[in-house]
Amino acid sequence: MDLNFTKEEQAFRTRVRQFIDNSLPPDIRNKVLNGKRLVKDDFLRWHKILYGQGWITPGWPVEFGGASWNAVQQHIFDEECGDAGAPTIPPFGIRMVGPVIMDFGNPAQQKYFLPKILSGEHWWCQGYSEPGAGSDLASLTTRAERQGDCYIVNGQKSWNTLGQYADWIFCLVRTSKEGRPQEGISFLLIDMKSPGITVRPTIMLDGEHEINEIWFENVKVPVENLVGQENKGWTYAKFLLGLERTGIAAVGRSKRELKRLKEIARRELSNGRPLIEDQRFRDKIAQVELELMALEITTLRVISADHERRTPGPEASILKIKGSEIQQVLAELLMQAVGHYALPYLHEALDAGWQGVPVGADYCAPLAGHYLNMRKTTIYGGSNEIQKNIISKMILGL
């Protein structure tokens, strides 16, 4: 197996790098590389720059407005974006509901929704988890009752990411109680401006408003916003979750964090020497770097296979487990690298242009918040315990 990139792929990398260097706004780059707070405008500005270049949906087929890049090209692009400090485009439209609409939606849905996902006109969020249905998603109770040409939706969704910005939400709803729980679920596209929708913030450990509860009270949803067939939404949900879990691996971002860890370890001192010279700490860096290299190779293999069959397999669970664990280890090592300076978490220091007195070097201020935020990575997208069950059943046959 040849792990080296071809000359064509190296030329593609150069082209991508030059574009990012010339196009990524410096203020956004600085925010990302220094752990500062990103706002909706930051994401949308970068989205529209990529859209103008024709690169906002690198994996989408050309007929739907995508670049139709192969798996290696997509990997190179993600890696270069991560290294340069480009913000991660929220995946809910581009990488999640968009492919579902392409594969299972009708022509009218494709014609209306896909161009607006491409342009950034529609910001999407996800309505899957509920207070009593997280890892056991099939037990969801948010119901949608058919009344004429509408569904009437009532219920609650939790752990909704960035729904405070969203124009639309894709939801799993219960349309039947007959048969197995998975057989009565449907996939609805819901306008967030619909009467009866309430968004309530859930403030996380790091003090940030990233997560929400979404309440539905007699919300009317046109029948034409049903994706695929009624009561067959579990099939589409599994397809989408496979895409989400593959994306959670986030190799490009982890390589950027590894690079940042090494830079900090060269600055921080231990017994009068740079921390990078401490054998035990250097061993920890080497261990996570080896694991990240293995994850990168595995990711390329999995997404190459997915590119051929168009449906992520259970291997996505492996990427989700290892990718999320590596992200947590890197966050922990960054905290360890600055020692006690990481403990006083200054929430206000995440604002760009903050002029307060830092505790330790400037790069210390965001580390505690980043560490707290990364605790969720082994839970969302299906907890790692659930992923191990999937691997045991679908790969090992246990």
390 in the same domain as 242:
yes
378 in the same domain as 249:
yes
Backbone torsion region of residue 275, taken as left when φ is above 0, otherwise alpha when ψ lies between -120 and 50, otherwise beta: alpha
Q: Write down the residue that tokens 């939706």 correspond to.
A: 153
One-letter identity of residue 377:
T
Count CB neighbours of 357 within 10 A.
Answer: 6
- At 136, which CATH number? 2.40.110.10
In order along its 398 residues, the chain shows pLDDT tens digits of 456 788 999 999 999 999 999 999 999 999 998 888 899 999 999 999 999 999 999 889 999 999 888 888 888 998 999 999 999 999 999 989 999 999 999 999 999 999 999 999 999 999 999 998 877 788 899 999 999 999 999 999 999 999 999 999 999 999 998 888 788 999 999 999 999 999 999 998 888 899 999 999 999 999 999 999 999 999 998 888 766 666 677 888 999 999 999 999 999 887 788 999 999 999 999 999 999 999 988 887 776 665 554 555 677 788 889 999 999 999 999 999 988 888 777 777 777 777 777 677 778 888 888 888 888 888 877 788 887 887 887 777 76
256 in the same domain as 225:
no
Helix (H, G, I), strand (E, B) or coil at 108: helix
Q: Are 96 and 243 spatial neighbours (Cβ–Cβ below 8 Å)? A: yes
Please provide residue 81's backbone torsions phi and psi, each rounded to the nearest 5 degrees.
Answer: -65, -45
DSSP string, 153-189: EEEEEEEEESGGG-SEEEEEEE---SSSGGGGEEEEE
146 in the same domain as 219:
yes
DSSP H or E run through 264: helix 251-267
Angle at 311 between CA 305 and CA 316, to 5 degrees: 70
Helix (H, G, I), strand (E, B) or coil at 221: strand
Residue 138: predicted pLDDT: 83
Q: Are 61 and 72 spatial neighbours (Cβ–Cβ below 8 Å)? A: no
Domain boundary pick from 174, 205, 231: 231
Q: Are 338 and 364 spatial neighbours (Cβ–Cβ below 8 Å)? A: yes
Residue 196: predicted pLDDT: 97
Q: What share of the chain is helix, strand, coil (3-state, %, to 5)?
A: 55, 15, 30
Helix (H, G, I), strand (E, B) or coil at 66: coil
202 in the same domain as 255:
no
214 in the same domain as 110:
no
Q: Does any domain span residue 1? A: no
Please provide residue 151's backbone torsions phi and psi, each rounded to the nearest 5 degrees.
Answer: -100, 140
Task: Give the whole-angstrom CA distance, residue 112 versus residue 116.
Answer: 7
DSSP string, 43-104: HHHHHHHHHHHT-S-TTS-GGGT-----HHHHHHHHHHHHHHTPPPPPHIIIIIIHHHHHHH
Q: Which of 79, 244, 296, 315 is catalytic?
A: 244
Domain boundary pick from 119, 139, 157: 119
254 in the same domain as 314:
yes
pTM: 0.86
Which residues does residue 157 pair with via DSSP β-bridges, in sequence order? 214
359 in the same domain as 248:
yes
128 in the same domain as 115:
no
Residue 219: name the closest of 164, 165, 168, 159 by CA: 168
What's the number of domains the chain is made of? 3
- At 72, which CATH number? 1.10.540.10
- At 328, which CATH number? 1.20.140.10
Residue 158 tokens read as 């939790």
106 in the same domain as 51:
yes
DSSP state of 350: G
Q: Are 170 and 97 spatial neighbours (Cβ–Cβ below 8 Å)? A: yes
Residue 113: predicted pLDDT: 97
> Is 315 known to be catalytic?
no
Structural domain including 185 reads 124-231
Domain boundary pick from 188, 210, 231: 231
Q: Does any domain span residue 99? A: yes
Task: Kindly list the distances between the CA atom of residue 375 and the CA atoms of 223, 329, 370, in Å, as whole numbers in the listed order.
Answer: 39, 10, 9
Q: Does any domain span residue 284? A: yes
Residue 224: name the closest of 71, 108, 135, 126 by CA: 108
Task: Give the whole-angstrom CA distance, residue 280 versus residue 265.
Answer: 12
220 in the same domain as 362:
no
Count CB neighbours of 308 within 10 A.
Answer: 8
Q: Does any domain span residue 150? A: yes
106 in the same domain as 47:
yes
Q: Does any domain span residue 2? A: no
Residue 378: predicted pLDDT: 85
Q: Write down the residue that tokens 């895409």 correspond to.
A: 243
Backbone torsion region of residue 282, taken as left when φ is above 0, otherwise alpha when ψ lies between -120 and 50, otherwise beta: alpha
Query: Is residue 111 exposed (0-12), middle (13-18) or buried (19+ Cβ within 10 Å)?
Result: exposed
